[in-house]
Amino acid sequence: MSQDSRQLWLLPSEGRPVIGPIADVAVKSRSFSLRPVAVPEALRADVSPGAIVAIPRRAGRGELTGVCVRVSEGEWTHSLPRMIRVIQPGPLLTPGLAALGVQVSAHYACPIGRVFFTLIPAAARKGRRERRVLMRAGNAPPDGARVSAGQRRVLEVLGAAPITRDELLRSAAVSAATLRLMAQRGWIAQEERFSVRREYSTATGADSRSPAPESGGCAPVAADGDCASAAATNSTTATAGPLSPEDAFALNGGQTAALSALADDFDRAAGFRVNLLFGVPGSGKTEVYVRAIREVIRRGRQAILLVPEIMLATQIVERLARRFDRTAVLHSRMTPTARLDSLRRIAAGDADVVIGTRTAVFAPLPHPGLIVVDEEQEPSYKNLAAPFYHARDAAILRARIEGIPVVLGSATPALETWHNATHLPHYRLLRLPERVPGARLPEVRLLKSPGGADAGADDRPVMSRELVALVQSAVAAGEQVILLHNRRGFSTMLRCVRCGIRVACERCGRPMVLHRARAVVKCHRCGVQTAAPRTCADQTCGGTLSPGGSGIQRLEEELTAALPTARLMRLDRDTLLHRRDYAAALQRFERREADVLIGTQLIAKGLDFPGVRLVGVIDADAALRLPDFRAAERVFQLMVQVVGRAGRKEGESLAVLQAADPGQAALRCAAELDYEGFAAAELALRERYFQPPFSRLARLVLADERPGRARESAATLSKELRSFAPRVHPLLRVDDPAPCPVRRLRGQLRWHVMIRGPRGGEVGRLLELAHNEHRLSPPVRRLTVDVDPMELL
């Protein structure tokens, strides 16, 4: 430290200004503001953005754990609290990430501490407590005292340096009872201290606690069929490798034009731009991603590729593992320690490509150059707990902060994204109008369900005769078949044949789903499971219970009867007992060890099986009956994804959509793969009813076990928000409170209040004003504030 800077470090008691480092810290509270604290000289070297620190509570009792967001020089005052200690040093926050956290807090009206505690993994927020055993100064055993051999070894070990209690037990080869006896006599003392977990070492490519790998680098991503297993358990990096031969094959015209447009931006350092890569299923979007990422790496930058679910991204992870050596995978299934070590490797610059689910948008890359969001329309990009961020929108915010491009890829973009791409100047639409060479679009047929909306009820079949015949024909010809039925269990309900009462979940009131093989009924929303009853719960009735509605297990039973020699494989959340089961099942199907694959929406996305001739969907219009303005959009998107699974590289293929009402507009447009026609009609409805993308929504859900409490609190909150709205913007509208479509969940009654406003930040400002006026603390068990909600149930 220079003489000038030393002169600034004066004690406040001298009456002169004290200038020193001030850290802005995010703590877990309801506050939207950072908390400034003075950084003592002894801690200064370890305090940087991303450091986990302990600061005093405002009340003066105890301490709080927080995340250091930024550090600056400023004047210390008597009222400025002093930082207590550093629990974990940084840096896991880059300047861009720190700015992103502040913007996410403002955009989603979420307390800033909740945001930064999401950015920093739990393992980094916990210091390791070690108990160090020390000699008590001046209290050596008195002359003539009986000192055993073990006690003498303890004194000898401690004579060199203080060590941890566990180390002392091992080094001196004594029991814990020996240490307790020596402590009672005052010969040693036990003192609890924090020790900081040692950092990842860029020299060895590993955590400095462990020996370096013999290869001198990090373990590579598996490039064979076991890639999904590696991706599902750990992050991985590797040293540089050769160019993949996959880079040699020619792109089609649309791919070439899209890649050229992106490369021009990289060359000109054009800065922030949102690119919508829009193409029919099978048009080669992934290859454009891969080559754009390679161009970014050639220019000395790094890239992030976001995928909706790591379990659904097996094939894309394998492809990138073959093409890039220094890759890392981030997802929620990693252990906390593995995730922390991965983030440290990324922050150290030892990964060129980060592949992951929504939290990977916060990867601390030192020099990001591109963010890619694959299947950007997927609802799984929305975080379902505070902060309720959407990874696509967070990626756009980060790209704007970092001054880099972002690519959003989809065959069926979210309507908000499509509207932006065709209306906003910083968006660009890149089209892929044709499938890759050899890939052909399937024929699509719309069929009526055999029982209409009651297909599968009682003894009515799940599949129409025509669909059964098509499946039998395909299997007889040695072709493979995929059938999607997006309902788990055997039947969607059990109801009394006499009074009609359904077996319902006691905690949320939803119909219980029958799993007949295990003789249980289960609520798939809150997880309650009980033995399947045989008779009506109403003792005055006593009627017999009958299954109603069809689930995937009933479809499996029908197929077994219709194709007794066919090899069936079922893939849903009930058959996936382990994270590796999904990849293993897909590999078996790809090796043609099964003729028919049946599953829920897990099988609809991101898969490519050349042997598939026929794809069918059961009850394709079921979701259209949900009370959600996005219902038609989601049905259309899922149907187009399913149709894309039928595209073959040779020969003809067929996709069948079986529905209670095949004439629905969403199904007709999906059958014709007419995204633009569907988007035009749906956006016209959205504009008429002031729905996104023509407005912004916020949903406040109040839940409580006590009857009437949620309803009364929602009415009070709605009235207060309505009184604040004109102070923010004249177009802000606060709806009357209403019961949620799912009225009861996990034993709590639920009401919600909807806020609609212009597309700017007015909704967020209204919520911030309400928070500052202490109006967002109603007397209910739970209040959730979801800005830009993806579901309204």
Arithmetic mean of pLDDT, 417-440 = 88
What number of CA atoms fall less than 13 Å from residue 382's CA on the CB side? 13
Q: Is residue 532 situated within a structural domain?
A: no
pLDDT the model gives residue 232: 38
Structure tokens at 297: 């790496």
Bridge partners, residue 206, by sequence: 201
Q: Which of the listed residues 663, 686, 709 is the one where a domain comes to its end?
A: 686
- What digits encode the pLDDT tens for the residues 89-111? 877 889 999 999 999 999 998 99
Do 645 and 658 fall into the same domain? yes
Report d(CA 11, CA 310) in Å as an integer: 54
| Mean pLDDT of the residues in the chain | 83
**Which domain CATH number covers 252?**
3.40.50.300
Do 163 and 185 fall into the same domain? yes
Q: Is residue 569 situated within a structural domain?
A: yes
Do 220 and 355 fall into the same domain? yes
pLDDT the model gives residue 313: 63
User: Is the pTM higher than 0.85?
Assistant: no
Check if the beta carbon of residue 595 is closer than 8 Å to that of residue 567: yes
Arithmetic mean of pLDDT, 246-251 = 68
Least confident residue range of 119-133, 315-329, 531-545, 700-714 = 119-133
Arithmetic mean of pLDDT, 549-577 = 91
**Which domain CATH number covers 43?**
3.40.1440.60
Do 716 and 657 fall into the same domain? no
What number of CA atoms fall less than 13 Å from residue 367's CA on the CB side? 12
pLDDT the model gives residue 4: 38
Report d(CA 653, CA 685) in Å as an integer: 34
CA-to-CA separations, 67 to 124, 205, 361, 412, in angstroms, rounded: 10, 26, 18, 39
Confidence of residue 769 (pLDDT cuts 50, 70, 90): confident
Report d(CA 658, CA 602) in Å as an integer: 19
Do 630 and 682 fall into the same domain? yes
pLDDT the model gives residue 17: 67
Arithmetic mean of pLDDT, 672-678 = 94
Residue 683: enclosing H or E segment and its boundaries?
A: helix 675-688
Do 85 and 171 fall into the same domain? no
| Beta-sheet pairing, 480-484 with 596-599 | parallel
Q: Is residue 174 situated within a structural domain?
A: yes
CA-to-CA separations, 470 to 52, 461, 480, 483, 616, in angstroms, rounded: 61, 16, 11, 12, 10
- First-to-last alpha carbon distance for the chain, in angstroms, is 59
Q: Is residue 438 situated within a structural domain?
A: no
Q: State the Cα angle at 295 between 294 and 301, rounded to 5°.
A: 85
440-467 exposure pattern, b = at least 16 Cβ within 10 A, e = fewer = ebbebbbbebbbeeebbbeeebbbbeeb
Report d(CA 258, CA 280) in Å as an integer: 14
ω before 379 within 30° of 0 (cis)? no
Residue 101: enclosing H or E segment and its boundaries?
A: helix 95-107
Q: Is residue 562 situated within a structural domain?
A: yes
Spatial CB neighbours of 740, under 8 Å, sequence gap ≥ 6: 701, 750, 751, 752, 792, 793
Number of separate domains in the chain? 5
**Which domain CATH number covers 719?**
3.30.70.600
Q: In what order do the strands lie in the sheet with 513-515?
A: 513-515, 520-522, 529-531
Spatial CB neighbours of 585, under 8 Å, sequence gap ≥ 6: 569, 571, 575, 576
711 pLDDT more than 90: yes
Q: Is residue 793 situated within a structural domain?
A: no
241 pLDDT more than 80: no
pLDDT the model gives residue 438: 62
264 pLDDT more than 80: yes
pLDDT the model gives residue 89: 84
pLDDT the model gives residue 477: 92
Q: State the Cα angle at 319 between 313 and 322, rounded to 5°.
A: 140
Percent of the chain scoring above 90 in pLDDT = 47
pLDDT the model gives residue 240: 36
Residue identified by tokens 């749906």 is 682
Q: Which of the listed residues 686, 720, 743 is the one where a domain comes to its end?
A: 686
768 vs 241, higher pLDDT = 768
Arithmetic mean of pLDDT, 357-378 = 95
520 vs 459, higher pLDDT = 520
Nearest to 275 by CA among 263, 86, 237, 638: 263
Do 334 and 239 fall into the same domain? yes
Confidence of residue 234 (pLDDT cuts 50, 70, 90): very low
3 pLDDT more than 50: no
Do 603 and 619 fall into the same domain? yes
Do 628 and 736 fall into the same domain? no
pLDDT the model gives residue 196: 46
162 pLDDT more than 90: no
pLDDT the model gives residue 191: 62
pLDDT the model gives residue 458: 57
Confidence of residue 293 (pLDDT cuts 50, 70, 90): very high
Q: Which of the listed residues 125, 157, 172 is the one where a domain comes to its end?
A: 125
137 pLDDT more than 70: no
Do 391 and 291 fall into the same domain? yes
pLDDT the model gives residue 11: 45
Check if the beta carbon of residue 753 is closer than 8 Å to that of residue 718: yes
Check if the beta carbon of residue 641 is closer than 8 Å to that of residue 605: yes
Q: How many CB atoms within 10 Å of residue 290?
A: 23
pLDDT the model gives residue 779: 86
484 pLDDT more than 70: yes
Do 725 and 739 fall into the same domain? yes
Least confident residue range of 77-86, 200-209, 589-598 = 200-209
Arithmetic mean of pLDDT, 501-513 = 87
Check if the beta carbon of residue 574 is closer than 8 Å to that of residue 600: no
Check if the beta carbon of residue 691 is closer than 8 Å to that of residue 629: yes
Q: Is residue 253 situated within a structural domain?
A: yes
pLDDT the model gives residue 291: 94
- What digits encode the pLDDT tens for the residues 407-420? 999 999 999 999 99
Do 357 and 251 fall into the same domain? yes
Residue 144's domain comprises: 130-195
Q: Is residue 389 situated within a structural domain?
A: yes
